[in-house]
Structures are given as structure tokens and as C-alpha cells.
């Protein structure tokens, strides 16, 4: 590996020098063009923060400017610093190399990921690899936590994540961004290129966006001396490639909008192996392809009588292939635990939302949802098995002014899941699992009090449910688990209260408390040991009992003259209060801190320093709760606005090359650098 210590020291010195000298138009408050964010909107702790549905609960919206400021090229990177959200690079164990997040301790199967309100998670398991979701064409990322409007649809038990695409300006506009990544030794480790062009007219618009990410490798911190199969230096199997194309066109007569979007994503990635020293822990995965296509129509029609109608119709397909090999050669699949698993999933669905002008200064809405999920699984040289669920829901939401400054909120929904088909892949689909249809009722009540016109108090209580996914009910976990078709639906009771708004001319933010109780909580539990090598645990998804959670979320931003700062803190306590012993709740630390400090001392230069701290946690989904120690790391970025259309940035990630693990035996990336060039027209 090429190494130039003088050049490396020079890059660090330049970044540090810029950080504490000058910076610039970080005051780019262009929060317009928030795309198909469905009104009404609400201010939540920052004057530029908006969400699709007003709610007496915690929510955060990152604008396009926020995403660029934090170098959040991937959706996973965008979510990491939000209070109540815990990033997990190794979803369902580090070996699979799937990034995920937990919201207040609940993973993505309880928190649907939406694109312009359209569900885009994998039908089989409810997850999606957030590292495969690019942000270059987004206007905003909305995150609702805890109290989540019933208008988001079924299974939004613990929150919702909505990725909102851009809506073009009038006339021809565009942007091209190029980024080059470098290791600590200044070897080029990756390239990212994206572009977006659009033309807007008062009666129509057209937009096209494309992205390419090529990651050759990542490197480990210098303090990592090597493991059984992972040497020091470059991380094995850390390569990845992602390509994305998004085309969006719409007719916009008057205040109406009829938009058709086509999004195509193609990816492939390696899966870095276990880097620890415990024999038998190494797993050798590979992802030859990870592809996704979404086609959806969204409409908004406003009637002269005050009624409005929103509709969504969509088709979403997902194809991937996961291989597990015998050993580190990644060539043979002779042992019983080795496999080739090919998924072919798709979703057809739609929703209708009617707003009725029945309440003066209030809202009354009715909604209906339908979603048909199909999973097809084809083992190597084997027959295809098929599983299918139809989920439907009806909902109503109401906002009523109770007093001049007090507003009441209520929502109700009824969900139904029709388990239409469940072939047993162990028998090539010749035998079916027993199926069970399920129903659920959801409710929520809340209040918002306008304290000063700029500050709002809120409180809410809700009970939401989630049906177990096909994966949780029917999966053999690639030979490492047992199915459980009889899983019951989870229920989550949430109570929360908080304050948000602009407290002074220079300080905005939010603070909230929450408590929750989840019944019939589903988690992986170790039920045995594989008698064949590598003698790994055998697990099963079970309704382990009752989980209680409580916590605090703080998020404050300051802007004073040339200085901008942010402090976010999360405290989360989770406890299994009823259930079998020996079951650990994994995936989230008790404490999480994020700090940002930016400066704009000169007209055209700007800097941003970041700090992140995570306390220790239990990780891995084997049910054993492998402990991982806490960690902290720093980041640094400096930029120069060359002129109104050209910007260049240099950044350092994990500035002090901190060695840390996000899962037992899976260390994070060491110090790295990046250079970004952005041009707009």
C-alpha cells in the first residue's frame, strides 16, 4: 500500500487550519422545494423543519441543506445524528453487511421506510439496507418517533422514515457533485458522482437524476492488529457499487399535482468477515446483486368546496442474491451451512386520503390503504417457493381547536392481514406452513398548546400494532433458525410530552420525555446449537413478552453571528419486564451524544466539526447479547464557495483513527478523507 506520511500530515494540517480560521455560506437556508411533502406542515424545533403530518409527538426533518452539510450521501448517514435514532451498520448481525437504524429501540421492521409516502422496504422481512439508498435527489428526510400518525399506514408501530424527493424550480436547473474518498494512507478508496437536472413550468415539470458510487475498499484503524481471518490495513470484502436513476414528471394545473416517478437502483457489495479472534465465528457472505425498482403515481386534487383528495398507487420490486461460502477462499459451497439464496419480491399497493372541511380551523381526514406483498425464494438448483400477504387498513384523523391556543388531536385505524400463501422452502414449496389472518386496532390522542406563538408544548398517548413479517414467521434463517408461523402481533403503548420551537433569536430546539410498553415483543432467541460445523447457535423468533422503555431526547441548535452549533442527546432505557430469562435487548446504547460546531468567519469559507459518542450496548441477533464497548469519534470538514455555483470541500472522518466495534468482531472504518466538488446551474 502506498503511504506518504508528509502528504497525510499536510492534509490533516490543512483541514485543521481551515476549521479554526474561516468558513462560509453555511447559512444557506433554502428549505424550499421540499418536494411531495404532503401538507399540513409543522415547525419542530427548527424553523426549516417540516413533516407530512402534524402530530403531538417527536419528529425531525433534515432538509437538502442539512444532508449536504453532514455529508450524508447515503440514507444511513443522514439518520445517525437524529435524537432517538441509533445507527447499526450490521443489521441482524455484522456478517450480513446490511445497515439499519433503531428508533427508540425498535428496528426497521417496526418503522416503515417510505419514499414520498410509498413503502419501499423489502416485503419479506420489512428491512432495507439504508446504505443502498442515496440522498442526492432528496429534498428532505422526515423521521417521526413514537407517536406516529395513523395516516402513515399500517405497521408504523414505533415511527416512520419518509424520504422526500425534490420538486423542481421554475426554469432549467441542475447540479453535479463529484466526491473522491481516500484512506488514511491517501490511497483512493472510492468515487461518488451524482447529477440532477430539471425543468419546471407553472403547469408541469420534468426531472432526471442519476448516481454512481464505487467503493474499492475501506481501511481499519491503525490500532487494529488483526484477527483470525482479517489482517490489519484494508478491510476484506468491503467493496461496493451502487447505481441509481430517478425520473419524475408531473402535471401541476392550479394547486393540483399528478406526479409519476420511476426509480431504478442496482447494486452489488461484499460482506466483510468476522475480524475477531474467537474460533468458529467467521461467516463468509457475498452479495452478487442487490437491485430495486419503484414505479409510483402520486396525486393531489383540491376541490372548490374545500375538499382535497390524495392518492398513491405503486409497484415496487426487489431482487437480490446472498451467497454463503465454506471458507475465506469464497469459492466452494460444500458444507451444509453454505448456500445460494435468491430473492424475487414485489409489492403492489395504493392509498387514498380524503380531507373534509368539516371543522373550522381544524382537520378531518379519512384514509384507506392496501398492500399486496409477494416473496419468492429460489435455492441453487431448487424449486421456487412463494409467500404472500395482503395488508389493508382504514384510518381517520381529526384535529380540533379546543381553546384559542389549545388543539386536540385524535386518530383511529383498523388493520387486517390476510396471509394468503406460505410455501415451506425446506420442501421446495410442496408443503405449506399453517397460516393465520390477523386484525389490529390502533388509537391515539394528543394535545398541542401554543405557548408564545413560537414555542409549543405537546403531549400524546397512542397504541399501535405491527404484524409479524414473513421472515419472522417462516424463515429458517439460512439453516440457522426455526420458523414460528404462530407469532402474534406486537402492540406498543407510548406516552410522551415535550416542548419545541424558537426560544430566542439565536436558539431553536426541542426536548421530550417518553415512556412505552411493548406487548408480545418479537425477538430472536437461542433455542439450540447446530450439531454441524461451525456449531453456531440455532435461533427462533418468539413473542418474548413485555418490554418497557423510557427516555429523554434533546436537540438544540444555536446560530449567533459567525457561529453555528448543535447539541443532541438521547437517553434510552429498555427492559424485558415479562418473559423468559437469558433474553437480551440488543442494538441500542443507553446514551448517545452528537455535537456540531460550525464557523463562517470569512465570506466564502466555512467549517464544520462534529463529535459523536455512543455508550456500550448489547449487539448481535443470536439472542446471546454480545457486549460491545462504547466509543466516540470526531469529524472535520472545511469548504470554499468559489462563486455562486461552484463549491469545493475537504473532510476527515474518524479524525483520530479511533478503534471501535459496532458489533462483536466487526470494527468500524478508520480515519479517512474525502474531497467534494459541487457545481450548480
314, 349 Cβ separation under 8 angstroms: yes
409, 445 Cβ separation under 8 angstroms: yes
pLDDT at site 45:
34
What value does the mean pLDDT take over residues 657-674? 93
Give the Cα separation of 567 and 509 in Å (integer): 9
Q: Residue 305 pLDDT > 80, yes or no?
A: yes
Q: Which CATH superfamily is domain 5-680 in?
A: TonB-dependent receptor, beta-barrel domain (2.40.170.20)
Q: What is the pTM of this model?
A: 0.90
pLDDT at site 151:
95
Closest CA to 488 of 518, 527, 525: 518
The model's pLDDT over 78-93, given as tens digits with 9 standing for 90+, comes to 999 999 999 887 666 6
The more confident residue out of 17 and 257 is 257
Give the Cα separation of 28 and 4 in Å (integer): 37
What value does the mean pLDDT take over residues 448-456? 94
pLDDT at site 27:
36
The model's pLDDT over 342-394, given as tens digits with 9 standing for 90+, comes to 889 999 999 999 999 988 888 999 999 999 999 998 877 778 899 999 999 99
pLDDT at site 335:
86
What value does the mean pLDDT take over residues 659-674? 93
Q: Residue 600 pLDDT > 50, yes or no?
A: yes
Helix (H, G, I), strand (E, B) or coil at 230: coil
pLDDT at site 458:
97
Domain ranges of the chain: 5-680
Radius of gyration of the chain (CA): 24
pLDDT at site 560:
92
Least confidently predicted of 55-59, 322-326, 328-332, 581-585: 581-585
Q: Residue 56 pLDDT > 50, yes or no?
A: yes
Element containing residue 542 per DSSP (H, E): strand 537-560
pLDDT at site 90:
66
pLDDT at site 92:
63
Is residue 622 very low, low, confident or very high in pLDDT (cuts 50, 70, 90)?
low
Phi-psi category of residue 322: left, alpha or beta, with phi > 0 → left and psi -120 to 50 → alpha: beta
Count Cβ atoms within 10 A of the Cβ of residue 603 and give its class: 0-12 exposed, 13-18 middle, 19 or more buried: exposed
Long-range contacts of 85-90 (CB under 8 A, 24+ apart): 85/143, 85/145, 86/570, 86/572, 86/587, 86/588, 86/589, 86/592, 86/614, 88/587, 88/619, 88/662, 88/663, 89/131, 89/662, 89/663, 89/666, 89/668, 90/619, 90/662, 90/663, 90/666
Least confidently predicted of 7-11, 140-144, 273-277: 7-11
Q: Residue 574 pLDDT > 70, yes or no?
A: yes
Give the Cα separation of 524 and 466 in Å (integer): 16
Is residue 531 very low, low, confident or very high in pLDDT (cuts 50, 70, 90)?
confident
pLDDT at site 91:
60
Amino acid at each position: 500500500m502506498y503511504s506518504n506520511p508528509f502528504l497525510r500530515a499536510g492534509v490533516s494540517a490543512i483541514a485543521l487550519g481551515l476549521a479554526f480560521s474561516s468558513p462560509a455560506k453555511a447559512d444557506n437556508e433554502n428549505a424550499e422545494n421540499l418536494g411531495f411533502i404532503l401538507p399540513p406542515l409543522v415547525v419542530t424545533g427548527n424553523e426549516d423543519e417540516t413533516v407530512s403530518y402534524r402530530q403531538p409527538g417527536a419528529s425531525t426533518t433534515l432538509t437538502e441543506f442539512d444532508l449536504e452539510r453532514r455529508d450524508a450521501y447515503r440514507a444511513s448517514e443522514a439518520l445517525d445524528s437524529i435524537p432517538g435514532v441509533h445507527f447499526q451498520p450490521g443489521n441482524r448481525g455484522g456478517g450480513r453487511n446490511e445497515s439499519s437504524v433503531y428508533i427508540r429501540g425498535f428496528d426497521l421492521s417496526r418503522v416503515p421506510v417510505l419514499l414520498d409516502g410509498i413503502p419501499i422496504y423489502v416485503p419479506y422481512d420489512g428491512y432495507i439496507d439504508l446504505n443502498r439508498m442515496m440522498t442526492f435527489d432528496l429534498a428532505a428526510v422526515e423521521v417521526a418517533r413514537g407517536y406516529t400518525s395513523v395516516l402513515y399506514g399500517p405497521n408504523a408501530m414505533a415511527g416512520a422514515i419518509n424520504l422526500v424527493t425534490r420538486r423542481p424550480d421554475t426554469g432549467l436547473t441542475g447540479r453535479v457533485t463529484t466526491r473522491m474518498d481516500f484512506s488514511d494512507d491517501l490511497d483512493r478508496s472510492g468515487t461518488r458522482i451524482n447529477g440532477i437536472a430539471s425543468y419546471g413550468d407553472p403547469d408541469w415539470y420534468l426531472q432526471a437524476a442519476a448516481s454512481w458510487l464505487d467503493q474499492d475498499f475501506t481501511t481499519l484503524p491503525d490500532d487494529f492488529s488483526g484477527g483470525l481471518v482479517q489482517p490489519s490495513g484494508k478491510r476484506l470484502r468491503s467493496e461496493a457499487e451502487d447505481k441509481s436513476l430517478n425520473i419524475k414528471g408531473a402535471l401541476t394545473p392550479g394547486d393540483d399535482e399528478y406526479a409519476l416517478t420511476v426509480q431504478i437502483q442496482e447494486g452489488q457489495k461484499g460482506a466483510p468477515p468476522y475480524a475477531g479472534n474467537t474460533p468458529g465465528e467467521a461467516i463468509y457472505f457475498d452479495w452478487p446483486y442487490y437491485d430495486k425498482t419503484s414505479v409510483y403515481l402520486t396525486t393531489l386534487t383540491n376541490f372548490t368546496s374545500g375538499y382535497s383528495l390524495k392518492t398513491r398507487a405503486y409497484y415496487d420490486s426487489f431482487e437480490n442474491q446472498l451467497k454463503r461460502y465454506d471458507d475465506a477462499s469464497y469459492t466452494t459451497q460444500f458444507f451444509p451451512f453454505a448456500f445460494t439464496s435468491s430473492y424475487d419480491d414485489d409489492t403492489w399497493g395504493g392509498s387514498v386520503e380524503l380531507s373534509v372541511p368539516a371543522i373550522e380551523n381544524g382537520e378531518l381526514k379519512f384514509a384507506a390503504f392496501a398492500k399486496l406483498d409477494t416473496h419468492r425464494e429460489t435455492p441453487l438448483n431448487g424449486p421456487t417457493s412463494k409467500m404472500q400477504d395482503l395488508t389493508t387498513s382504514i384510518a381517520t384523523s381529526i384535529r380540533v381547536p379546543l381553546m384559542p391556543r389549545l388543539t386536540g388531536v385524535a386518530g383511529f385505524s383498523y388493520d387486517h392481514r390476510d396471509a394468503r400463501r406460505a410455501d415451506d422452502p425446506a420442501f421446495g414449496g410442496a408443503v405449506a406452513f399453517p397460516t393465520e389472518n390477523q386484525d389490529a386496532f390502533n388509537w391515539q390522542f394528543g394535545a398541542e398548546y401554543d405557548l408564545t406563538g413560537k414555542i409549543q408544548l405537546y403531549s400524546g398517548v397512542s397504541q399501535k400494532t405491527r404484524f409479524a413479517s414473513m421472515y419472522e414467521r417462516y424463515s429458517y434463517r439460512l439453516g440457522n433458525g426455526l420458523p414460528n408461523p404462530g407469532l402474534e402481533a406486537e402492540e406498543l403503548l407510548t406516552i410522551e410530552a415535550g416542548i419545541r420551537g424558537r426560544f430566542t433569536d439565536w436558539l431553536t430546539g426541542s426536548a421530550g420525555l417518553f415512556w412505552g410498553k411493548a406487548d408480545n415483543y418479537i425477538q430472536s432467541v437461542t433455542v439450540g446449537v447446530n450439531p454441524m460445523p461451525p456449531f453456531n447457535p440455532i435461533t427462533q423468533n418468539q413473542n418474548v413478552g413485555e418490554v418497557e422503555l423510557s427516555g429523554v431526547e434533546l436537540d438544540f441548535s444555536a446560530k449567533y453571528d459567525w457561529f453555528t452549533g448543535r447539541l443532541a442527546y438521547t437517553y434510552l432505557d429498555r427492559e424485558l419486564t415479562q418473559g423468559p430469562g437469558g433474553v437480551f435487548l440488543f442494538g441500542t446504547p443507553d446514551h448517545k451524544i452528537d455535537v456540531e460546531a460550525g464557523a463562517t468567519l470569512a465570506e466564502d469559507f466555512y467549517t464544520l466539526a462534529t463529535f459523536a459518542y455512543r455508550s456500550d450496548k448489547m449487539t448481535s441477533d443470536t439472542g446471546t447479547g454480545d457486549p460491545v464497548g462504547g466509543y466516540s469519534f470526531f469529524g472535520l470538514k472545511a469548504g470554499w464557495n468559489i462563486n455562486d455555483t461552484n463549491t469545493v470541500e475537504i473532510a476527515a472522518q474518524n479524525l483520530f483513527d479511533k478503534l471501535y466495534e459496532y458489533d462483536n468482531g466487526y470494527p468500524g472504518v478508520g480515519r479517512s478523507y474525502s474531497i467534494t466538488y459541487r457545481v450548480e446551474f
